[in-house]
Amino acid sequence: MKILLTIHHELNINLGAPGVTWRLGQEYIKLGHEVSYFSFDNLPSFLPSIVQGILFPEFVASKVAALVKNQAIDILDASTGDAWVWAKWSKISSQAFPLVATRSHGLEHAVHLQLLEEVKRGNMKLSWKYPIYHGGFHLWEVTNSMRLADLVLLLNEYDLGYAVKELKVQKERAYLVKNGILDTLLNLPLQPLPKDEKIRIALIGSYIPRKGIHYSIPALNSILREFPQVEVSFFGTMVNRDQVIADFDSELISRIHVVPTYQNSELPALLAGHSIHLFPSLSEGFGLAVVEAMACGLVPIVTEIPGPTEIVKHDFDAIVIPPRDVLAIEQALKKLITDCDYWQRLRINAYNTAQQYSWTAIAKSNIALYESALAKRTK
């Protein structure tokens, strides 16, 4: 099959949705399919990022039209919001066009609701521009791209249910899919922890309110004060160390480590010596960092939100806590810090769970969905 994958970001393979898009395409190539990508990298560089976002569906439509003309496309797999212009036009045409799959990397409507809750709680302010595009027109684009698609691919049960019930997506076109981890993260040897008696906690992801920083920072301040052997590392913050340590008590900052960006292949080395992965996010489509950390031998503490809770089970391979609960974060950290046997049991189970997330198997499952949808077209 000839497959076009689109993503409304620059195609940075070390970031969430772009990285998933890239890796999925690479697996398709291994399976013998022809793959091309279309992202912000393909747009005129002089366009501001907000303009690129607004015009991206039109650029996608133009790209697909050119591929159709040359009979060079069978599948358009587009991130939510990207394909609505093309899909709308193709529905009113009598020509045979590629199958359109809309892929969610985390339903924007769910993120929107969590942002509004944080605003309500006084933890953040939204720009006056937010209701115009990201909180307005873009949500409309996402809704219509899903309604018009032949396949709607979602990462968790909540997003799927919301899409069907609230967005009126046809249930028979909506499917759950998973994300995977690099082959280099699978079957890593479980290394013993360093003998320096330090306990290292890792947080992986952007340093933004949606990742739960308003709740994790007070808890971490408390833990660091109570346990002098504890250190905390932030990976992939996308902000510098000064911005992170400004939220911690001054006497604690020598035990705070910040890595603003990293290559995905570096993760095992970065996480070496860490035993706990704190993931207090408020909204996630999947939670790939959770799987990656488990594969590297860390025990996750995750919030009870869609995405992560479909990966792990409380008291089996993780500790699951309520979102927005500082005390629950503290208690979970204390449990893992003080109960080595409990940590060890969860660690082994978490490591085994992570081995299920091979990109090869996930790519084959996606191809099967394409083929099934194409077969239905011919009936």
Phi, psi of 28 (to 5 degrees): -60, -40
Percentage with pLDDT > 70 across the chain: 99
Average pLDDT of the residues of the chain: 95
Alpha-carbon 116 to chain mean position: 20
State residue 367's pLDDT score.
97
Question: pLDDT grade, residue 252 (50/70/90)?
Answer: very high
Question: CA 45 to CA 25: how far, in whole Å?
Answer: 24
3-state helix, strand and coil shares in percent for the chain, rounded to the nearest 5: 50, 15, 35
Mean pLDDT score, 347-361 = 96
**pLDDT, tens digit, for every residue of 260-290?**
999 988 999 999 999 999 999 999 999 999 9
Residue/partner pairs of 364-372 with CB below 8 Å, 24 or more apart: 364/31, 365/177, 365/178, 366/24, 366/28, 366/153, 366/177, 367/1, 367/28, 367/31, 367/33, 369/101, 369/151, 369/153, 369/175, 369/177, 370/1, 370/3, 370/75, 370/99, 370/101, 370/151
CA atoms of 67 and 4, how far apart (whole Å): 9
Nearest to 22 by CA among 151, 179, 142: 179
At residue 193 the predicted structure's pLDDT band, cuts being 50, 70 and 90, is: confident
**Which tens digits make up the pLDDT trace of 14-70?**
888 999 999 999 999 999 999 999 999 999 999 998 899 999 999 999 999 999 999
3 state DSSP class of 227: coil
pTM for this model (two decimals): 0.91
Residues 6 or more apart whose Cβ sits within 8 Å of residue 57: 81, 82, 83, 84, 85, 86, 141, 145
Please report the domains of the chain, with CATH numbers, ordered by start residue. Answer: 2-180+358-378 (3.40.50.2000), 184-354 (3.40.50.2000)
Categorize the per-residue pLDDT at 329 as very low, low, confident or very high, splitting at 50, 70 and 90. Answer: very high
pLDDT for the residue numbered 110? 94
pLDDT tens string 76-134? 999 999 999 999 988 877 676 899 999 999 999 999 999 999 999 998 899 998 999 99
Q: How far apart are the first and last CA of the chain?
A: 19
Q: Is the pLDDT of residue 379 over 70?
A: no
